[in-house]
Amino acid sequence: MKQNKTWQGFSTTRRNSALFLFVFLGMLTAFGPFVTDMYLPSLPAMTDYFSTSASLVQLGLTFSMLGLAAGQILFGPLSDKYGRRTPLLWSMLLFLLSTIGCLIAPTIQCFVLLRFVQGIAAAGGIVISRSIATDKFKKKNLAKALAIVGAINGIAPVAAPVAGGLLVDKTGWQGIFAVLLFLGLALMGCCFHFKESLSRVKRSRKKISQTARLFKPLFSNKQYIFYTLQLSFAMGILFAYIAASPFIIQKHYGFSAFAFSLFFAVNALAIGCGAALSVKFKKQESCVRLSCSGMLCFAVLTAILLPAGITVWTLEALLLCLLFSMGMTFTAATTLAMDCARRQAGAASALLGAGGFLAGSIVSPLVGMGNMLISTGIVFVVCALCSAACAFWAQHSKQPAAFSALMPESSSVLR
């Protein structure tokens, strides 16, 4: 394939141009958060539609997050064995079928089950997108690519409810799933255009029954494990914010749903700016240290001041700083984790993504326990503290000799 001119420092080809890859990978990354969060504003309407309780309708969110975690464990190793394109096509087909099922589900129980399947399918796009970036780019370019993916990954969870809120008033909850179906069709078309990024010689030769063994070397890589945990705890802050902020902004401070959407949009911008800034660091390790320090500092301030009766504007300033710091760590931690596990990129991406959604499924109900003004601050502090501790251990751990021998040119990013 002939090489074209470079774009923003990235080499391009006719099939897999850098611009196409960034758009494609960004859409795949945003897919998961839109699946989990876009229908949040429609929960009351779905309660009436299915004539059921709010708790049963909320199970759709919980099961979709569990599906997103499980699906990454499934599709990660499969993409290492069969390449990126084929598993991606199957995941998109499964997503289209499950989304149609959600639209015509006769009962809430059937809907919840289909949401789990939908989550599994959407996970294929998330996990494979990181693997494709690792296949195509190295070092500085890998950091830039993951910065774009990380920015979208940070913005999507907070932008999705805003988009859902705008849709539900005009189209009902079915309109939201119709939009998801349209997005799935668009991604299916991109999958057909996408040129395989993992050559046959680099694919795993293990049998399907042995795919679980692909994860075994990762657990010997302390740096990878600690960076994965560090990112998961940071994601815990994000999902705690998503779960608590509607109640705090609307019920405690008395703002309307539209005003709440504006807060969401501004905070989403802060996450994206943090992810974009991370690539300016010469060493991604320095970015991780700074971002963890910022998360811990502003988490503690929020935990102390929120129950004390601060104004909404003071709270918003604290959240902006907290989420900006979190956006920085999304890109840096993902880059460092994926770079030190290149030979198992699919499995590594699977564990990395699954950890974040598992953290989200755990912390989301925790912020609602007792006084939300207190519980939210506690969850923020615990997650930030654990994230900082994992970052410290990651940067004071060494890769095992087997990994260093396999990847002599890329054992660390931007050194």
Q: Is residue 147 situated within a structural domain?
A: yes
In the predicted structure, residue 120 carries a pLDDT above the cut 80: yes
In a domain, 3, yes or no: no
Q: For residue 413, what pLDDT is reported?
A: 32
CA–CA separation, 281 and 279 (whole Å): 5
- Determine the average pLDDT of the residues in 84-89: 90
Per the domain annotation, does 206 fall within a domain?
A: no
Task: Determine the pLDDT at residue 264.
Answer: 78
How many whole angstroms separate alpha carbon 161 and alpha carbon 247?
14
Whether 412 is covered by a domain: the verdict is: no
pLDDT band at 10 (very low <50, low <70, confident <90, very high): very low
Round to the nearest angstrom and report the end-to-end CA distance of the chain: 32
What is the count of structural domains for the chain?
A: 1
Nearest to 28 by CA among 73, 77, 114, 89: 89
Q: What is the mean pLDDT of the chain?
A: 80
- Average pLDDT, integer, range 195-212: 75
Residue 151 buriedness (CB in 10 A; 0-12 / 13-18 / 19+): buried
Please give the Cα distance from 298 to 324 (Å, whole number). Answer: 10
Question: Cα separation of 311 and 355, whole Å?
Answer: 34
Confidence class for position 239, pLDDT limits 50, 70, 90: confident
Confidence of residue 124 (pLDDT cuts 50, 70, 90): confident
Q: Dihedral, CA atoms, 293, 294, 295, 299, nearest 10 degrees? A: 110
CA atoms of 399 and 340, how far apart (whole Å): 8
Angle at 239 between CA 234 and CA 240, to 5 degrees: 95
pLDDT value at residue 297: 95
Maximum Cα–Cα distance across the chain = 63
pLDDT of residue 182: 92
Res. 240 pLDDT band, cuts 50 70 90 = confident
Q: Which of 24, 58, 68 is nearest to 359 (CA)?
A: 68
Contacts of 135 (CB under 8 A, 6+ apart): 84, 197, 198, 345
* Buried b or exposed e, range 273-304, using 16+ CB within 10 angstroms: bbbbbbbebeebbebbbbbbebbbebbebbbe
Tens-place pLDDT, residues 11-52 = 445 556 777 877 788 788 777 778 877 877 777 678 788 888
> With bands split at pLDDT 50, 70 and 90, how would you rate the model's confidence at 150?
low
pLDDT, residue 54, reads 63
Residue 276 resides in a domain = yes
Structure-model confidence comparison of residues 343 and 115, the more confident one: 115
Lowest mean pLDDT, pick from 72-76, 208-212, 214-218, 271-275: 208-212
Q: Are 226 and 393 in contact (CB under 8 A)?
A: yes
Q: Is residue 118 part of a domain?
A: yes
CA 230 to CA 255: how far, in whole Å? 34
Q: Report residue 374 as tokens.
A: 């207190």
355-411 pLDDT, tens digit per residue, is 887 888 788 778 777 788 998 899 999 999 999 999 989 888 765 544 443 333 333
- Degrees, nearest 5: CA angle 27-90-21: 30
Q: Check which CATH number belongs to the domain holding 35 and give it.
A: 1.20.1250.20
Which has the minimum average pLDDT: 85-94, 135-144, 352-361?
135-144
pTM across the whole model:
0.69
> Residue type for 374, please?
I
Q: How far is CA 361 from the centre of its chain?
A: 13
pLDDT band at residue 8 under the 50/70/90 scheme: very low
Residue 13 falls within a domain, yes or no?
no
Structural contact between residues 153 and 129, judged by C-beta atoms closer than 8 angstroms: no
The arithmetic mean of pLDDT across residues 173-181, rounded, is 89
Span 268-322, pLDDT tens digits: 888 878 888 887 887 888 888 999 999 999 999 999 999 998 999 999 999 999 9
Decide if 243 contacts 367 (C-beta within 8 A). yes
DSSP string, 41-100: GGHHHHHHHHT--HHHHHHHHHHHHHHHHHHHHHHHHHHHHH-SHHHHHHHHHHHHHHHH
pLDDT computed for residue 408 by the predictor:
36
| Host domain of residue 381 | 18-201+214-402
What band does 152 get if pLDDT is binned at 50, 70 and 90?
low
Q: Is 191 a member of any domain? A: yes
CB neighbour list of residue 69: distance below 8 Å, 6 or more residues apart: 123, 353, 354, 355, 357, 358, 361
The mean-pLDDT minimum among 219-223, 253-257, 298-302, 313-317 falls in 253-257
pLDDT at residue 64 is higher than 80: yes
Predicted pLDDT of residue 299: 95
What's the pLDDT at 16?
Answer: 65
Determine which of 53-57, 226-230, 358-362 has the lowest per-residue pLDDT on average. 53-57
Residue keyed to tokens 């919980």: 62
Residues 57, 46: contact at Cβ < 8 Å? yes
Q: Is 141 exposed, middle or buried (0-12, 13-18, 19+ CB in 10 A)?
A: middle
Measured distance CA(262)–CA(316) in Å, rounded: 11
Compute the distance between CA of residue 28 and CA of residue 76 in angstroms, rounded to an integer. Answer: 14
Contacts of 319 (CB under 8 A, 6+ apart): 241, 245, 267, 302
Tokens 């609602």 belong to residue: 368
The reported pLDDT for the residue numbered 118 is 93
Position 163 pLDDT exceeds 60: yes
Task: Judge whether residue 158 has pLDDT over 60.
Answer: yes
